[in-house]
Amino acid sequence: MIHFEPATRTFNLHTAHSYYALRVDAEGRLVHLGWGLRPADAGPADRADGPFPWPHEVGFSLTVQFRPEEVLTFGDVSTHGVTLKANFPALAQPLAPGEAAHLPIRDLRLRYASHAVVMDAEPGLAPAHGQPVRNETPRETLRVRLVDPVQPLAVTACYRLTPEHDLLERWLELENLGPHPVTFDAVGFASLHLPQGATELTSLTGAWAREYTQERRRLSAGTLVLESRSLQTGHRANPVFLLNAPGQAAEDSGTVYFGALAYSGAWQLAFEQLPTWHLRVHAGYNPFDFQLVLAPGQRHATPALVCGVCGDGWGGASRRLHAFARERVLPAPSARPAYRPVLYNSWEATTFNLSYAGQAALAQKAAAMGVELFCVDDGWFGARRDDHAGLGDWFVRPDAFPDGLEALVAEVHRLGMKFGLWVEPEMINPDSDLYRAHPDWVLHFPGRPRTESRHQLILDFGRPEVVEHIFSVLDALVTRYQIAFYKWDMNRLASEPGSAAGQALWLAHVAGVYGIMDRLRAKHPALDIQSCSGGGGRVDLGILGRVDQVWASDNTDALDRVRIQEGFSLAYPARAMEAWVTHSFNGFTQRAAALRLRFDVAMRGALGIGTALNELDEAELAEYARYIAFYKRLRPIIQDGALYRLQRVEAHGASVIEYVAADGREAVYSIVVHDYRAGAFRPTAPLRGLHSGLVYRVSNRDGVEVQRATGYTLMTLGLPGQHGGPAGWSQTLHIVAEAE
Ligand code: GLA
């Protein structure tokens, strides 16, 4: 609900449990008033109003501008971080006496012009594929139009509410109203003003094969920057944060502020603690090498910062982001039943050694064990015998499939599975026909080196003809081979970012990727897409608007994966997290893992199989089939239920999680012992989200009952017999309420 009080010019934005208040002050500035939880007994008419809660017109020596404006602008602010920095090339009015023409004018002031509450406003780069999301209930957006008193520029600050999940999406719309171009050096989507003391930050950093590493630290005075400086979301950090007062939040309790960016390019989150101990979060495009030029009359809408506050700890923040992604971001499933299919991917089994016979043999084994989607990975195209050649030549590799791909597609369909294909559309090997034909189509600076990474260069998506070419190639493949699933990969960082689009490349690349995906989905509504970037390098709320699932990491070692997946779960939902069972010995970690452990970990997301099935004996294949059947019984709860992280690896050496169906009548309990601590008894983990008065049957994979107990007992004492077990011990249990 959005309310405006004309007498004080105060806006109150209410969600189920939170408020966000802002005000137009006497000078017409849009100033932040407060953000937090609503008192439990508050009614709809209770609103925050009254004087500003802290002084911000400080006039002491060595202080300039502590005023918490909603949109902080360079010029008005010069000693702290800003949301916007603009350069005006010309004077908007004649020079006054005593003025010199120091151009460009790097000074922007924003004053209130008008506001409106509208339904269904969309941030920049919102999906344009036209496919619905699960929850299409219209939402309110507050739009506050601000203008510079002198220069012809309008900035609209937008606030869209998703009340049921206590979420707010913030973005900016810029409009050049004048006759000259305006250049921006920095464009944030929003700056947040957090209460004093919310300085404990939980974030995700990492690297290839070690994505989503959780870090919890106390912010000190100054600015901490998390960012991507590339053309994808990145491995080094993921654009998500949780903030709370140190020591005052835990998994299930405490006030937590949180946010995530809906953008898959060079982003930045800057956490700035002012000398007053106020904390600001500046979120948006990375200002590194950034430039946005608005021509006369041109507009630009930024993507959104999704943010919220909750009172039920880090777990509560995660559950809100999960529900938001499932219901409001991910495309609604086109197929029925509406669950992610069990996938087989042949990458780890065959790498580049592809043939009809080899793939067909794998497909037959996969189908027999219950796989529903068969995806051929890298190596099916061009001269792709290894990673030195072929990227860009998206036609079937004749030495691997001399009779084309049609026979394999037909065989996969005959076996009752859908057919999927790996592509890496943004890339090109210099050893490719496409590069030989268009050496100018890659990012580069004239006369300068073109640094290769994995022997590949990046196509210049600043050129519309390149984007068009890639779309038409992918479009034709879908039609020709009845492709139901693209694994869209992206395997390198940017270098020498010279583009036909100049510095606008950073945005143009992301818009190009999104645009191709949107057009493919619009034209082929049954096509699913997986986002992959050398593992989990392209996961964010922007890409989730146009894909169905993501690859979290190339590291499929089960114990490593427990940590990676736990970090992933801070912000992203299980149904989007593809997780594979692979062979017992993991080459990355030089560790072996029991099949049970591998399944218990991979079943925590959207299950896939990546094992060399031709190396398994009949008994092992039968075991796989039993697990897959079990997973299919559990997946409605795993993929759509609420996630509770009952115990974290850090605290107890074990990861215990629970998924609970929306009606609380069914749940999945999953435990993995990560580190065995001799001499210690791990506490049991009481369950959550059940009904105290109902009796639940707890059963294992084979349907054998291991316990029968009331919801009350399960939510107080937990499950017995869960404290032991060496590292690698694991169990998945199905919990179902008995009929009353
Ligand atoms: C990347 C992906 C892998 C696989 C290879 C193929 O590393 O993350 O899953 O597809 O590329 O080259």
Q: Is the pLDDT of residue 722 over 80?
A: no
Per residue in 590-641, pLDDT (tens digit) is 999 999 999 999 999 999 999 999 999 999 999 999 999 999 999 999 999 9
Q: Using CA of residue 340, residue 341, residue 345, residue 349, what is the dihedral sign?
A: positive
Distance 635 CA to ligand 1 centre (A): 26
Distance 534 CA to ligand 1 centre (A): 6
pLDDT computed for residue 160 by the predictor? 98
Exposure letters 360-373 (e unless 16+ CB within 10 A, then b): bebbbbbbebbbbb
Catalytic annotation, pick one of 252, 387, 475, 554: 554
How far, in Å, CA of 531 to CA of 540, rounded?
10
Mean per-residue pLDDT over the chain, rounded:
96
Share of the chain above pLDDT 90, in %: 91
How far, in Å, CA of 239 to CA of 204, rounded?
8
Per residue in 557-590, pLDDT (tens digit) is 999 999 999 999 999 999 999 999 999 999 999 9
Distance 347 CA to ligand 1 centre (A): 7
Closest ligand 1 atom number to CA of residue 387: 12
pLDDT computed for residue 67 by the predictor? 87
Per residue in 391-427, pLDDT (tens digit) is 999 999 999 999 999 999 999 999 999 999 999 999 9
Band (734; pLDDT cuts 50, 70, 90) = very high
> Ligand 1, residues 397, 422, 550: which to mutate, most atoms within 8 A of Cβ?
422
> Ligand 1, residues 388, 397, 554: which to mutate, most atoms within 8 A of Cβ?
554
Distance 70 CA to ligand 1 centre (A): 42
Stretch 681-697: mean pLDDT: 94
Stretch 127-150: mean pLDDT: 97
pLDDT computed for residue 64 by the predictor? 62
Band (62; pLDDT cuts 50, 70, 90) = low
Cβ 497 vs Cβ 505: under 8 Å: yes
Stretch 177-198: mean pLDDT: 96
Residue closest to 150 by CA, chosen among 213, 209, 86: 86
Q: Using CA of residue 42, residue 43, residue 46, residue 48, what is the dihedral sign?
A: positive
Band (359; pLDDT cuts 50, 70, 90) = very high
How far, in Å, CA of 218 to CA of 633, rounded?
42
Per residue in 449-482, pLDDT (tens digit) is 999 999 999 999 999 999 999 999 999 999 999 9
The verdict on whether 166 is a catalytic residue reads: no
Catalytic annotation, pick one of 166, 393, 460, 489: 489
pLDDT computed for residue 65 by the predictor? 72
Neighbours of 534 (CB within 10 A): 21
Per residue in 475-517, pLDDT (tens digit) is 999 999 999 999 999 999 999 999 999 999 999 999 999 999 9
Q: Which of 119-123, 264-268, 275-279, 555-559 has the lowest mean pLDDT?
A: 275-279
Q: Which amino acids bring their CB within 6 angstroms of ligand 1?
A: 347, 377-378, 422, 489, 491, 532, 534-535, 551, 554
Band (356; pLDDT cuts 50, 70, 90) = very high
pTM value > 0.85: yes
Q: 2-39+67-125+138-329, what's its fold?
A: Beta-galactosidase; Chain A, domain 5 (2.70.98)
Q: Where are the domains of the chain?
A: 2-39+67-125+138-329, 645-737
How far, in Å, CA of 191 to CA of 305, rounded?
9
pLDDT computed for residue 77 by the predictor? 81
Residue closest to 673 by CA, chosen among 691, 698, 651, 656: 656
Closest residue to atom 2 of ligand 1, CA basis: 534
Closest residue to atom 8 of ligand 1, CA basis: 534
Distance 377 CA to ligand 1 centre (A): 8
Distance 458 CA to ligand 1 centre (A): 16
The verdict on whether 120 is a catalytic residue reads: no
Q: 115 pairs with which residues across the strands?
A: 144
Stretch 9-33: mean pLDDT: 97
Q: Is the pLDDT of residue 59 over 70?
A: no
Q: Which CATH code is given to the segment(s) 645-737?
A: 2.60.40.1180
How far, in Å, CA of 165 to CA of 660, rounded?
17
Closest residue to atom 11 of ligand 1, CA basis: 534
Band (678; pLDDT cuts 50, 70, 90) = confident
Cβ 608 vs Cβ 580: under 8 Å: yes
Closest ligand 1 atom number to CA of residue 554: 8
pLDDT computed for residue 79 by the predictor? 86
